[in-house]
Copies of this chain bind each other. A is one copy, B any other.
Amino acid sequence: MARSRDADHLVAAAGEGDRGALARLISLIERGGEDARAVGRLTYVRGGNAYTVGITGAPGAGKSTLTAGLIGLVRATGEQVGVLAVDPSSAATGGAVLGDRVRMQDHALDAGVFIRSMATRGHLGGLALATPEAIRALDAAGVGTVLVETVGVGQVEIEIAGEADTTVVVLTPGAGDAVQAMKAGLLEVADLFVLNKADRPGVVELERDIAAMLDMNMHMGEWRPPSVRTVASTGEGLPEVWGTVAEHRAYLESSGELGRRRARRVADELRQIVLHRLELSVWERCRGAEFDRLRDELLARHVDPYTAADRIVERWA
């Protein structure tokens, strides 16, 4: 009760531009549990207008610099922009990843920009469930563009970046990046390749490698992901990147693919929430004296694991 009233108040305040309230909402989401669900119930029905852009690529590719540059381009249109920096690996240290993001500081005083790093708190479901919730908190607060930047290219990070409306994969010349990207599964999620640090040797080879990989990919739809050269540190090429994001958005909208993507995404998320909820009840039911007795019967080979599982599952039926 108190919980739902608090969330209600925070969502209303965030909707009126209170950035502190928005930050607290996202903290509740990160923490998971009942509070996060209360926030999720409120923000979901208030949203639906934000466009999300995922930005992924190996560490050191210049994703933060690119993101900082794109913030400026979005802000020039007058639209509010949110940035979520997703770092599954920071659970161990608990550290935020934004500390060293000097260029992000350029936007620290702009009330139209909301920057937040998200780390997993180690709970089940983790960032894969928390990130769409955080996007919706921004969405409900009237933020029109959300950039979701991942720190690395782990499985969770690629999955999260790949669920954006447009996914940007950042590669750099001379690092064998194209092959690494393919191995990591980045090719499947890319709507657009940014070849950053394009003033370095090897950019022509990188373009050629990407083209070759795209030619080999049988699952290609109507949109062939273009490559855009940038030098993010000087801002070179960034307007072209944002222009290509806009082209991709126009393609998604006119082809009906945006609706299909979002339908798939919401169905996947619903399945994940159902599964997550069942997982929690498995951990709850699979402990205690009765469970220990069943385990001891197993150890004594009086029962097999499938029969034991039947006994536990029967209680759900």
| A residues adjacent to B (C-beta < 8 A) | 37, 40-42, 44-45, 47-48, 259, 262-263, 266-267, 269-271, 273-275, 277-279, 282-283, 285-286, 291, 294-296, 298-299, 301-309, 312-313, 316
Contact = CB atoms under 8 A, between A and B. Distances in A.
Given A40-B305, A262-B299, A270-B312, 13 more contacts: A44-B301, A45-B302, A45-B303, A47-B301, A48-B301, A259-B299, A263-B296, A267-B286, A271-B286, A273-B306, A273-B308, A274-B286, A316-B316
A270 B295 CA distance: 8
27 contacts: A40-B304, A40-B305, A41-B307, A44-B301, A45-B301, A45-B303, A45-B304, A47-B301, A259-B299, A263-B295, A263-B299, A266-B295, A267-B286, A267-B291, A269-B305, A270-B294, A270-B295, A270-B298, A270-B305, A271-B283, A273-B306, A274-B282, A274-B285, A275-B278, A275-B282, A277-B313, A278-B316
A48 B302 CA distance: 11
A271 B312 CA distance: 9
Contacts of A313: 274, 277-278
A68 B305 CA distance: 32
Contacts of A294: 270
A98 B304 CA distance: 31
Q: Among A45, A291, A296, A303, which residue has the most Cβ atoms of chain B within 10 A?
A: A45
Given A266-B295, A304-B40, A309 B273 contact: yes
Which of A282, A285, A309 has the most C-beta atoms of chain B within 10 angstroms of its own C-beta? A309
Contacts of A301: 44-45, 47-48
In the complex, the 5 A-B pairs of residues with the closest C-beta atoms, listed nearest first: A44-B304, A273-B309, A271-B286, A41-B304, A278-B278
A263 B42 CA distance: 44
Contacts of A299: 259, 262-263, 266
A307 B298 CA distance: 38
A278 B275 CA distance: 8
B305 A44 contact: yes
Contacts of A282: 271, 274-275, 278
Given A277-B313, A313-B278, A316-B316, A305 B271 contact: no
Contacts of A308: 270, 273
Contacts of A309: 270, 273-274, 277
Interface centre among A41, A47, A263, A270 (most CB of B within 10 A): A270
